[in-house]
Structure 1
Amino acid sequence: MPTPQTAIVTLLETSDLHGHIYPTDYRDTYDKPIGLAKLSAIIRKERSIDPSLLLIDNGDLLQGTPFMYRYAKYGAGGIHPAAEALNALRYDAAVIGNHEFNYGLDLLNQTVRQSACPWLSANVVNERDGQPAFGQPYRVFTLPAGIRIAVLGLTTHYIPNWEAPDHIRGLAFEDALSSAARWARHIRENERPDALVVCYHGGFERDPATGEPTEPLTGENQGCEMCLRIGGMDVLFTGHQHRLLAGEINGVAIAQPGFAGQAIAKVQLTFERTADGSWSLREKKASLLLTADAEEQADEQLLIRFAEHERQTQQWLDQPIGSVDGDLAIVEPFAARQADHPFTEFVNRVQMETTGAAISCAAIFTDEARGFGKEITMRDVTANYIYPNTLKVVRLTGRDIREALEQSASYFDRDERTGEIRVADAYLLPKPRHFDYDMWEGIDYALDISQPVGQRVVKLHWNDAPIDPEAFFEVAMNSYRAGGGGNFNMIQGRPVVREFPTDMTEILADYIMERGTIRSECNHNWIVY
């Protein structure tokens, strides 16, 4: 029989699943085109075509749904659902994402131990010796045709700006770009693979088509620079930004499959035999397989596997925990971001009462947030407060507060045609960042969006007088913002005077249950115009 002269290798990537196994977002019980169970049907179909394909998860698997939250907080026994899902679907590798650290290293290490596939991250290292903290920076796979594919894992190194210090104690985060360059060179020289695939839990700092910057060059995302500067890289799988991307940059096939299981990235590599019998990569093709376009139904076996976890989660979500006197519903999130609203005032008041701080800031995280109806359930709490943030009290000067308000004010822009206030493009692309706009309680302020960015705070009072820029104030905020997350550099590094390790979701739920009935209040202390 003649030796085949061509071979096609299929690579599949999931990323930013954020705990979505079932096809639901948990805001209601309706079936949606998301989740690993629906992706599983696509994976099964692709395996029927190419049984030796490589399947990789690119990070942010452990956090993001009440399903995972409940397991982390109340059901940490037996195998972690994330590890069980990786094993059931026969993943070949997984990459550490930034949200893998949200519930602490014990839970993360448990998941890594229980997974049949390796978890890769070359640039998350131990402080004591500089070695990769999760064992393997990369893995080389030899496929049936003898083709060798090297898969290198990388994680955005910006994590210390967001994560609770206790959750990353003993770890160091090397620059992802320089680490990628070093390890890519090592792999090429020592492993000599037929193709090098980099799986980076990070995204693109520039528009892949035009090269124009799309966000502040903080180092959080370095995908374009990797494509331009790292020699010998054939494929770059990305994530973190929740974008739907497939294409090529500088000869490197790139892909990013959105979030929550809305798509899976597919890259096909075509190899040809050379005269000496080795393989040479001739063609790369990147595409996205959208869950919404798939004809297959959700994987029934996977749904059955997690049915008891899901039943307990739904039961937990539907339990009433309190009621509302008045109105705490968010009818239109954008309108609620332009003037003081009872729901954001409620969140800020909880933060202030919990911490003892006289000032607080909080965000409406997504446009899906709807506040509370007359009866409050755990589903309402988790649907509105979707991140496992803790609380910190940070000491800021009056000048810091003004600069933080100016940063938040950059969330807004004016439509050139109508003059109406709208969300600035930088907060919508490459992904929505509504969580990076804060609303404050304990101070009185006004933002004039007709003014240039950086000059929009036209009123800022404390105790009915202009705030003293040199005076110190204690401000309650979530742990993400306290670390400077969202380009709040004026907050990063400021003294943390108190910390509260309980998740904000639990703080809100406990506050409601202790009181039974929550009264809607709004003092209208701020406005945007």
Structure 2
Amino acid sequence: MRPARHGATLLKLAAGLAEREPEPLTQPAETAPLPEPAADRQDEVLLRVLATTDLHANILSYDYAANRPLHGQGLAQMAGLIAAARAGAPGALLLDNGDFLQGSALADLAAQGGRRRVHPVIGAMNALAYDAATLGNHEFNYGLPVLDRALAEARFPVVSANVLRRRGEGGPLEDDTLAPPYAILDRVLADGSGRPHRLRIGILGLTPPEILRWDQAHLSGRLDARPMVEAARARLPELRRAGADLVICLAHTGLAGPGGREGIGIELAELPGIDALVLGHSHLVFPHRGLHPDARVDAAAGRVAGKPVVQPGHSGSHLGIMDLRLRRGAGSWTVAGAEVRAESVSEVAAGLPAAAIRRHAEELRRAVGPDHRAALAWTRRELGRTEVALSTAFAQVADVAALRLLGLAKIDHARRALAGTAWEGLPVLATATPYRAGGRGGPLNYTRIAPGPLSVRHVFDLYPFPNTVVGVLVTGAELAEELERAAALYAQVVPGRAEQRLIDPAFPAHAFTTVIGISYRIDPSLPARYDPRGALVRPQARRVLELRRGGVPVRPDDRFVLVTNSFRASGALGGGPFEVVLDRHELCTAILRDHILRQGRIGPDTLAPAEGWSLRPLPGTSVVYDSGPEAMEHRSEAAHLRPEGAGLTAEGFQRLRLYL
């Protein structure tokens, strides 16, 4: 007999545990089913590795922006699944793969300073007795002081081998790293005959080196970084010399798909010395039933270059489980076999009574409860009122009020800030991105603000990231290129054909943007100038047409101040480098909040566009476009496209038929 393997079995275990008196989540319940022998062989043991990634501060399974509980996501709903998985395999490891400190109002409030309590995310991870974690890119969004304080409160090692306070002259082994490059965890596991074996498990952490660009306002001159593969290749022999019998790599990167955008997980898996990997960053789930274009990836078995790999989604949507069968021979341990899966929290939680879910999360709720209540009070603070609905349901196909509000807030701020400077007389434009517009966030990941009070939570609904406002100087030619990169969102459609897919699924949703303050049209029947990675692939192609300001065509040498955010200004999505003319390190959310406070009332007149954008009409052409379940309530914003409902997708999106 072997440890519990599948969601149904784990569900039964979780329900059984819930019927007993609650035990601390740091140990399996005393009355849990006894673990089954790890293997039939006396020279084998089984190590269960549990993993989360990209939690984004989704602790109590609550959407503060929408002011509603979340089902099937977050640590609170995952706690029972973790307890059941631990009960089936004593000595299991619980690991996190980064991007845990940012992503909700809970984290934003904790980053404001003056705290006396443990950071709520760290408190939750302490309560669940995590064994180790690594740093993702979003850990740096609030700056080093916030990160340093949070890490000091962790009762588990947080490791990263490639983020540096100082680069060593003699190579990676002489680097002064921000966090320990690795940790070694001890476990005693029983073989098939019950004989105990002591194992030393190395945990190597790797962080995207692009943090230096993405958060340069916080990190410039303070940190350095090495490429992941370079750091890992140097540290792996050191880990073995330090006594590690097995090495698990926590790498905050994904698996490169078509176009190679998502990450370098394959290259890491090929490194000698890594026995298993936990991946993340791209918010995808692995293993899965689909096919991967790279022959080194076995998506169904959860293998990359022959090694077990798991990637457990995002926001607490899945718990990664790797059951590693380890065999001792010639004085060392090797992975003789593995079962890898990503258990869906929503599927398991759906079979549990609410009382069972609450019971397993009781210790976690005690740890985070005061912060949760503070976040609710903060996000419900009223700022003003809106007379118009603010929705992103059609933000990728039409000029919508929600994005005009974002853009106008940035333009208003920049004009005030640039008064009296050399840039005062230049036209001011602003980027506006629909951050909550479905994608990998699912069908509920849309902004949907009804007419009525506007609160702090609505600010974070419209803008969920702690980026700062940056104004850059651009020419008309550079502006056109920015729009061409965004226009790669659309698949090429054939004029006169019906029911064509409009959105290219390979394009990352956060890379799309509109520009407020000018007018233009996008023709999706023309080939894209850029590919989904932002690389120029067709130098002669142009999709952005009729680029005008005040009815006058924009010339290549015209100059503008483009107000964007620190992420875009860093060149993370291509373009630049640009001359920065405004950078006061002020949060985009603060700018939007202050704009609403000044306006008091948001109405059709305050959002009336002097300029706007649209898709170029293509008579006789229809496309399909997936949006949120309530999209048809906002169809007036895309009335010229005559939206029609075409059913629900398997993922729960509302499929729409649009007439170009």
Task: Quote how far apart the aligned CAs of 1:290 are.
Answer: 1.6
Q: Which moved more, 1:67-76 or 1:380-389?
A: 67-76
What RMSD in Å do the two structures reach over aligned CA positions? 2.2
1:494 partnered with 2:564: no
1:460 partnered with 2:547: yes
Alpha carbons 2:127, 2:363 under 8 Å: kept: no
1:314-353 equivalences in 2 (<5 Å): 314-325=376-387, 327-330=388-391, 333=393, 335-353=394-412
Residue 209 of structure 1: aligned partner = none
1:439 partnered with 2:494: no
Residue 187 of structure 1: aligned partner = 239
In 1: Cα distance, 2:275 partner to 2:137 partner? 24
Residue 54 of structure 1: aligned partner = 93
1:418 pairs with one of 493, 498, 504: 498
Post-superposition Cα deviations, 1:161-213, rounded to whole Å, max 9, x if no partner, equal: 3214224541012111222222223324x23533221100111113xxxxxx3
Post-superposition Cα deviations, 1:74-129, rounded to whole Å, max 9, x if no partner, equal: 66332111221222111111101100011110010001111111111100011365
In 2: Cα distance, 1:215 partner to 1:402 partner? 25
Q: 1:132 to 1:93 in 2, by over 3 A?
A: farther
Residue 452 of structure 2: aligned partner = 374
Structure whose alpha-carbon radius of gyration is higher: 2
In 2: Cα distance, 1:232 partner to 1:164 partner? 33
Residue 97 of structure 1: aligned partner = 136
Task: Quote how far apart the aligned CAs of 1:412 are.
Answer: 1.1
Residue 603 of structure 2: aligned partner = 519
In 1: Cα distance, 2:248 partner to 2:486 partner? 38
Match of 1:16, SS?
A: coil
The answer for unaligned runs of 5 or more in structure 2 is 1-40, 169-173, 189-196, 288-301, 416-426, 438-445, 530-541, 617-660
2:248 pairs with one of 185, 197, 215: 197
1:24 partnered with 2:62: yes
1:222-233 equivalences in 2 (<5 Å): 222-228=264-270, 230-233=271-274
1:245 pairs with one of 282, 286, 300: 286
Task: Quote how far apart the aligned CAs of 1:29 are.
Answer: 2.1
Alpha carbons 2:283, 2:314 under 8 Å: kept: yes
Task: Quote how far apart the aligned CAs of 1:260 are.
Answer: 0.8
Alpha carbons 1:124, 1:155 under 8 Å: kept: yes
1:141 partnered with 2:168: no
Alpha carbons 2:492, 2:526 under 8 Å: kept: no
Q: 1:441 to 1:281 in 2, by over 3 A?
A: closer
Q: Which amino acid aligns with 1:48?
A: A
Task: Quote how far apart the aligned CAs of 1:500 are.
Answer: 3.1
Residue 109 of structure 1: aligned partner = 148
Residue 254 of structure 1: aligned partner = 309
Match of 1:292, SS?
A: helix
Task: Quote how far apart the aligned CAs of 1:512 are.
Answer: 1.1
Residue 290 of structure 1: aligned partner = 344
In 2: Cα distance, 1:168 partner to 1:286 partner? 39
The answer for unaligned runs of 5 or more in structure 1 is 207-212, 428-432
Task: Quote how far apart the aligned CAs of 1:516 are.
Answer: 1.5
Q: 1:395 to 1:307 in 2, by over 3 A?
A: same
Q: Which amino acid aligns with 2:601?
A: T
Match of 1:84, SS?
A: helix
TM-score by length of 2: 0.73
Residue 44 of structure 1: aligned partner = 83
Post-superposition Cα deviations, 1:437-471, rounded to whole Å, max 9, x if no partner, equal: 11111222111111111210121123433222133
In 1: Cα distance, 2:243 partner to 2:344 partner? 34
In 2: Cα distance, 1:345 partner to 1:421 partner? 26
Where do 4+ consecutive residues of structure 1 move more than 3 Å? Answer: 127-130, 276-280, 414-417
Aligned length: 505
Task: Quote how far apart the aligned CAs of 1:318 are.
Answer: 2.0
Alpha carbons 1:341, 1:522 under 8 Å: kept: no
Q: Which amino acid aligns with 1:380?
A: H
Task: Quote how far apart the aligned CAs of 1:506 are.
Answer: 1.9
1:402 partnered with 2:480: yes
Q: 1:89 to 1:456 in 2, by over 3 A?
A: same
1:71 pairs with one of 102, 107, 110: 110
In 2: Cα distance, 1:149 partner to 1:74 partner? 36
% identical equivalent positions: 28
Q: 1:135 to 1:441 in 2, by over 3 A?
A: closer
Task: Quote how far apart the aligned CAs of 1:522 are.
Answer: 2.9
Post-superposition Cα deviations, 1:276-304, rounded to whole Å, max 9, x if no partner, equal: 56544311221112211223514122113
In 2: Cα distance, 1:421 partner to 1:268 partner? 40
Match of 2:608, SS?
A: coil
